[in-house]
Amino acid sequence: MSEASKTTRSGGGSNEDRGIDYRGLALNLCGLVAGIAIGWVLTAGGAVGLPPPPQVASRFIDLIANGQLATDIMSSLARVMTGFLLGVILAIPVGFVMGWYKVARSLIEPYLQFFRMIPPLAIIPLAIVTMGIDETPKVFVIFLASFLASVVATYQGVISVDKTMINAARVLGAKDMTIFLRVIIPASTPFILVGVRIGLGSAWATLVAAELIAAQTGLGFRMQQAQLYYDLPTIFVSLITIGLLGLAMDRILLVIERRLTVWQERV
Amino acid sequence: MPPRIAPKIVFDKVTRRFDLKDNAFVALDRLSLDIADGEFVTVVGPSGCGKSTALNIAAGLLKPSEGTVLVDGKAVEGPGPERGMIFQQYALFPWLTVRQNVEFGLRIKGEEASRRRQIAERFIDLVGLGDFADALPKTLSGGMKQRCAIARAYAVDPSILLMDEPFGALDALTRVQLQDQLLDTWSRERRTVMFITHDVDEAVYLANRVIVMAARPGRLKEIIDVGLPYPRTEEIRLSVEFMSIRNRVWQAVYHQ
Ligand SMILES: Nc1ncnc2c1ncn2[C@@H]1O[C@H](COP(=O)(O)OP(=O)(O)OP(=O)(O)O)[C@@H](O)[C@H]1O
Ligand SMILES: [Mg+2]
């Protein structure tokens, strides 16, 4: 037909999705450099009592060289990944069941809404008393944080699937199982991935706080040790590492999310 | 003219109520209507008069409170692939390409891959989307999306097409193109079509008969025979006969 002009043809993602915004990146970089420069100037005279950037950088090098940073990173990442993966793996099926069966939703929802209001950190004293002070309570708290974030997103995703789309599948002959596998799951994927990202964010935040309270290794623990000795450079190294790792994990999930949802119309 | 054999679709005193907080709202009140095999009927009426309700009941997506809809003499129990449906909002699966959308129903039917592809190809070409078979819906215009939805419905070879304001969201030109394309396919394959529209011109241009409904409660008001020959053309659209039927329908709809 007349609309079939080749110019509008485009098989996959459109250009806005793929293109790199160089101007934006350059500005990001400028802001970063400016920020460090200002920090340098402010701390040079010891004015604000904080370590100047070179001191932090050399501590970074020390901690990398003696392997302590790597150890801390590994133990923090191991905890966060265990808790996070367990949380997400449980949250997705529970979210689907809640979205699909009204009865399940009504049964589970009060608990969910209630626990969502309790900051995961507030569970720590209870977790320590009941689970001891080894890895279990920390992983549990992270698990809880990521579970709660992802389960809500998943079931919101399921209940917001366009009814017309479900009806379209029905009139094409689809039964419940097919609708679930071929419509509900793909249609709610964007929501789930957002939930997973939020879950990872809160898992990471919770982890660091959990390590401040009870741990023998980890980035949070290292900071707390440093605090005892007024070791500001180490605190900065830990803070920067925590931020960078969190950012890296978030970006990785963002890339995965984009990959899995290229079909979405973005406005 | 509809042949006088057993009707394809029978609405038999179909009533549908919706429970509201304090009372039951009657969306459709004892609708009785026969649609002949191969007939093209359009349904017009003010907003809220129960057009979509009637169509959804025929599709098996909604249960009547009273009465039955018979298709080929059998009561409708649920949706079935012999009744294809086209929605105003296209309802394509956005994560599937045009081809995969069209193959969706075939896959459920259990057609094997090569056959699926062959059938899908045919209907994608039929609606003029050959160059876009591997495109995602988000890259298509509204008209192209609706053509994809039409191809998807045709692919499972329904004997009935239920269409709920399918061209309502399209611009005037695309609308006319799709009307002609629909009539062209219909006159060759003679599926029974029940087509809801807000547009009186469209209703008259397409139909053997125009069903006019009234609101509060939603009910049948009048059935108007169009009686113009097919193929319908530009001349027919501009003819005096067309105008007079159009005016009759208009009167029936807007002076209730
Ligand atoms: N699920 C529902 N719950 C309650 N009321 C409903 C529901 N679906 C439809 N109705 C009511 O039934 C009446 C008929 O609705 P229907 O969608 O069939 O109208 P329509 O003729 O298709 O209107 P339109 O031209 O605006 O699409 C409306 O007043 C609507 O508010
Ligand atoms: Mg409607």
* Residue with more model confidence, A2 or B187: B187
pLDDT at A11: 42
Report how far residue B3's alpha carbon sits from residue B9's, in angstroms, rounded to the nearest whole number. 13
Average pLDDT score, chain A? 85
pLDDT at A267: 66
Which atom of ligand 1 sits closest to the CA of residue B54?
18
pLDDT at B34: 95
The rounded percent of chain B whose pLDDT value lies above 70 is: 98
Q: Please, what sign has the CA dihedral across residues B168, B174, B175, B177?
A: negative
Q: Where are the alpha helices (DSSP H) in chain A?
A: 15-18, 22-44, 53-65, 68-100, 102-117, 124-131, 135-159, 163-171, 176-179, 185-213, 219-228, 232-260
pLDDT band at residue A6 under the 50/70/90 scheme: very low
Q: Is the pLDDT of residue B2 over 60?
A: no
pLDDT digits (tens, 9 = 90+) for B61-75: 999 999 999 999 999
Q: Could you write out the three-class secondary structure of A96-153?
A: HHHHHCHHHHHHHHHHHHHHHHCCHHHHHHHHHHHHCCCHHHHHHHHHHHHHHHHHHH
Ligand 1 contacts CB of residue B50 (under 6 A): yes
pLDDT at B256: 64
- CB spacing of B132 vs A168 below 8 angstroms: no
pLDDT at A9: 39
Give the 3-state secondary structure of residue A161: coil
Residues of B in contact with A2 (CB under 8 A): 177
The rounded percent of chain A whose pLDDT value lies above 70 is: 91
The rounded percent of chain A whose pLDDT value lies above 90 is: 30
Domain spans in chain A, listed from the N-terminal domain onward: 10-50, 51-260
Top mutation candidate among B17, B44, B49, B65 for ligand 1, by most atoms within 8 Å of CB: B49
pLDDT at A8: 39
Q: Is the pLDDT of residue B79 over 90?
A: yes
Is there a cis peptide before residue B231, judged by omega within 30 degrees of 0?
yes
pTM of the model: 0.82
Residues of B in contact with A262 (CB under 8 A): 136
Q: Is the pLDDT of residue B175 over 60?
A: yes
Output the CA–CA distances (angstroms, integers) from residue B8 to A166, B34, B52, B193, in the order listed: 26, 8, 19, 10
Ligand 1 contacts CB of residue B51 (under 6 A): yes
pLDDT at B4: 56
Residue range B1-79+160-181+190-256 forms a domain whose CATH class is alpha beta
Nearest residue in chain B measured CA to CA from A189: B95
- CB spacing of B136 vs A173 below 8 angstroms: no
Average pLDDT score, chain B? 92
Q: Is the Cβ of B181 closer than 8 Å to some Cβ of chain A?
A: yes
pLDDT at A203: 87
pLDDT digits (tens, 9 = 90+) for A15-71: 445 567 888 889 889 998 888 888 787 777 766 777 888 888 898 899 899 989 999
Q: Is the pLDDT of residue A251 over 80?
A: yes
pLDDT band at residue B116 under the 50/70/90 scheme: very high
Mean pLDDT, rounded, for A239-244: 91
pLDDT band at residue A184 under the 50/70/90 scheme: very high
Mean pLDDT, rounded, for B173-201: 92
Q: Is the pLDDT of residue A244 over 70?
A: yes
Q: Is the pLDDT of residue B140 over 60?
A: yes
- CB spacing of A12 vs B136 below 8 angstroms: yes
- CB spacing of A174 vs B108 below 8 angstroms: yes
pLDDT at A39: 79
- CATH code of domain A51-260: 1.10.3720.10
Q: Is the Cβ of B104 closer than 8 Å to some Cβ of chain A?
A: yes
Domain spans in chain B, listed from the N-terminal domain onward: 1-79+160-181+190-256, 83-157
Ligand 1 contacts CB of residue B53 (under 6 A): yes
Q: Is the pLDDT of residue B44 over 50?
A: yes
Rounded to the nearest whole angstrom, what is the distance from the C-alpha of residue B52 to the centroid of ligand 2?
4
pLDDT digits (tens, 9 = 90+) for A120-145: 888 888 888 898 878 888 889 889 98
pLDDT at A18: 55
